[in-house]
Structure 1
Amino acid sequence: MSVSIDITGLAPERIRVVPSPLAEMGMALHALSEPAHHPGLQGWTTSVSTRLDPCLADRLCEADFLWRTTFSDVFTPAAGIAGRRTLPGATLTEELDLLDKLSDEQFVDAALEFTCQSTYASRTVDRLADPRTRERALDLAATRGVQQVRFTQRLLDDPPAIRTWFRELLMECDEAFFSDVWARVQHQLAADARHKTELLRRKGLREALGAVSTAVSLDETGRTISVDKITQGFAETGDGYLVLIPTSLGWPHLWVLHRAGWQPSIMYPISSPGLSAPPSVEQLTLRMSALAHPVRMRLCRHLARGSYTTSELSDAHGMSAPEISRHLSVLKKAGLITTRRHGRYMQHQLDLSVVSRLGGDFIEGVLR
């Protein structure tokens, strides 16, 4: 599974690496609402949460669906501007001005993303005018509580009022905590953007994407970018831009904007407290499937304690050597065991370092 971006005909000068204060604010709000996703930010999230004004905290709860489970596209308004060649603003105010340029339908469509997962990439209805879609949005909001229903109803009934409310909310967040965050990280983000831009210029897109994340790759034809995620999606740059947005607060998330009609964008973390090269979704699936079989689980109990030959494992488990070999082959293909020659014999052992990382690999994979 992956999200693919068709970049056929995309000229190098239409690939931009640009920090975004509004996108970084979205990540900050997400970290505050889901601190378990960002253990490396625990000190910061605890500090901000404890000193946050109660009234502001209540208002944040009203709209937290915009950043709690899904990073809403309202935090990247430049991508929705007609022509698909608008870049993120240099300041939060500039980006909020871009947000004001989106139509009410665009704003509502992006804000209600959590109710429209199946139609995210190919919108076919006007969410403000279609009664069935409105009803569906309210039904899904109801599963999250009365407060969520009230907010969704207000959003559908009076988008301009909610847009004004949302802008004021973000400005209050900026004053309360985000201006300090941005002052701390903006130079780091700008430096990373310059580095990736230089890689693009000197070594090409493939090298630059590899530096963005090991989960991002360019196919052999140079026409399709694939982002390894436990989801599927498709976008195309057409005659617009591809924008890469660095974030200091984003790990482990690797976010891809592939909304129909919007400029494709990839927001990537510039640092990671985890592995430098986490396994792909395919590798993770192989490892978890390999360990799901009861015989292979019992083999792992032996192999975790030392090195054994196929014959020794066959005797210990009362199985034929070919049967043991087949199970060992599955474990080896998944990268869970190592094999080394000892004299005339081949010995197998569980790779404890790989197995010990499975929990973290799984969390990184599903949150990516």
Structure 2
Amino acid sequence: MSVTIDIAGLPPERIVFAPSPLAELGATLHVLAEPGHHPGAHGWATATNAALKPDLADRLCEADFLWRTAFSDILMGFAGLRDASVQPAATLAEDLDLLDKLDDEQFVTAALEFTCATGYAEQATLSPLSDPVVRKRTLELAAARGPQQRRFTERLLEDPPTVRAWVRRLFEDCEQAFFADTWHRVRGQLAADARAKTDLLRRRGLAATLEAVSPALSTDEHGSVIEVDKLTSAWTTAVSPAVGAGVTFIPSVHQWPHLSVLHRYGWRPVVHYPVAGREVLSGPLSVEQFTLRMEALSHPMRMRMCRSLARGPYTTSELADLNAVSSPEISRHLAVLKKAGLITSRRRGRYVQYQLDVQVVARLGSDFLETVLR
């Protein structure tokens, strides 16, 4: 399984390495929301969360689905603009200006990635802003995610400009509260990494550059595709004349163990990769329990389920729809994972949601954790 980016005929100068303040802010917000994904950042996350003013902390909770379960494409809004020369900006304000250039349709479908009926990699033919059937389905999916996401979705569908202004103000307040200092600390490292990768691409070519970015990246002998080794299958193109040819690689200090790929239909692809070293995970585990857990993970379906459950809570029916299998089959796999102590469950109204216990999985090894969170 992999995400394939078609780059056949793409000029080398259209392969761009550039840091992004907005993308890095999104990575820090994910660390604050899911410190279990980033064991080495517990100290920073704890201190930063403790220093947040209550009003800002509450507002972050209202919109945390934009960065908690997955990395929302609005955090790389430049890729949706119909101008291939547009790349991430030097400041957060300038990155937010680029985000403001997206029309309401683009912003809404990107922000509601998990609550819009249209497939992520498919062309949107109907919009929740104008089609009542799609709108109803979007609200139903949002409700299954919880009351906060439903309220946010209702507000966004009712008045996109007001919510967009609210989101921008939220990011600006984050900059004032903690991100200005964070960006000042990491921007030099990110700029240096981008320059080094650009120079490597010029001197040694694409294959060597991709290997330096991540062992999960590769190309074919003709340099016509970029393959991203992930527990999912998808395809996108970097040579669409409709949106402009190009692919952007964004380095991040706060991204590990995630390797994210923006492959939304109608947007230029983006690879968001970590530059920091792997974090060390340790802790004793009995041979019996280790064997039980490894046997639970030996089935490919359970591996795919782990990838989803690592990003957020899912119900049995949601997992069944996502994997195109029956609910009873998903229930059997969930039972095996639960017996091995790899997942947790909680009841939300009439729904039972399951989620991967990332800290438990981390004890199996950083390679496995990196793979399911890639």
TM range (shorter): 0.7 to 0.9
Match of 1:310 in 2: none
3-state SS of paired residue (1:5): strand
TM normalised by structure 2 equals 0.75
CA distance in 2, matches of 1:212, 1:359: 21
3-state SS of paired residue (1:272): coil
Match of 1:46 in 2: 46
Matched, 1:266 2:271: yes
Match of 1:67 in 2: 67
3-state SS of paired residue (1:96): helix
CA distance in 1, matches of 2:297, 2:18: 42
Gaps of 5+ in 1: 276-286, 294-355
Residue from 242, 247, 259 that aligns with 2:247:
242
CA distance in 2, matches of 1:357, 1:37: 12
Structure 1 pair 260–134 and aligned structure 2 pair: CA distance change class (3 A) = same
Correspondence list, 1:276-291, <5 A: none
Match of 1:3 in 2: 3
Partners of 1:70 and 1:114 within 8 A in 2: no
TM normalised by structure 1 equals 0.77
Correspondence list, 1:138-157, <5 A: 138-157=139-158
Partners of 1:33 and 1:68 within 8 A in 2: yes
Gaps of 5+ in 2: 281-292, 300-361
Which whole-Å deviations, capped at 9, do the CAs of 1:185-237 have from their partners, x for residues lacking one? 00000010111011001001111110000000001221010000111111111
Correspondence list, 1:82-101, <5 A: 82-101=82-101
3-state SS of paired residue (1:123): coil
Partners of 1:219 and 1:225 within 8 A in 2: yes
Name the larger-Rg structure.
Answer: 1
3-state SS of paired residue (1:194): helix
Partners of 2:2 and 2:228 within 8 A in 1: yes
Structure 1 pair 266–122 and aligned structure 2 pair: CA distance change class (3 A) = same
Q: CA RMSD in A?
A: 2.0
Correspondence list, 1:1-368, <5 A: 1-116=1-116, 119-124=119-124, 125-238=126-239, 239-274=244-279, 358-368=364-374
Identical counterparts, % of pairs:
58
CA distance in 1, matches of 2:85, 2:200: 21
Which whole-Å deviations, capped at 9, do the CAs of 1:309-350 have from their partners, x for residues lacking one? xxxxxxxxxxxxxxxxxxxxxxxxxxxxxxxxxxxxxxxxxx
CA distance in 2, matches of 1:2, 1:159: 34
CA distance in 2, matches of 1:102, 1:360: 38
CA distance in 2, matches of 1:139, 1:128: 15
CA distance in 2, matches of 1:132, 1:220: 46
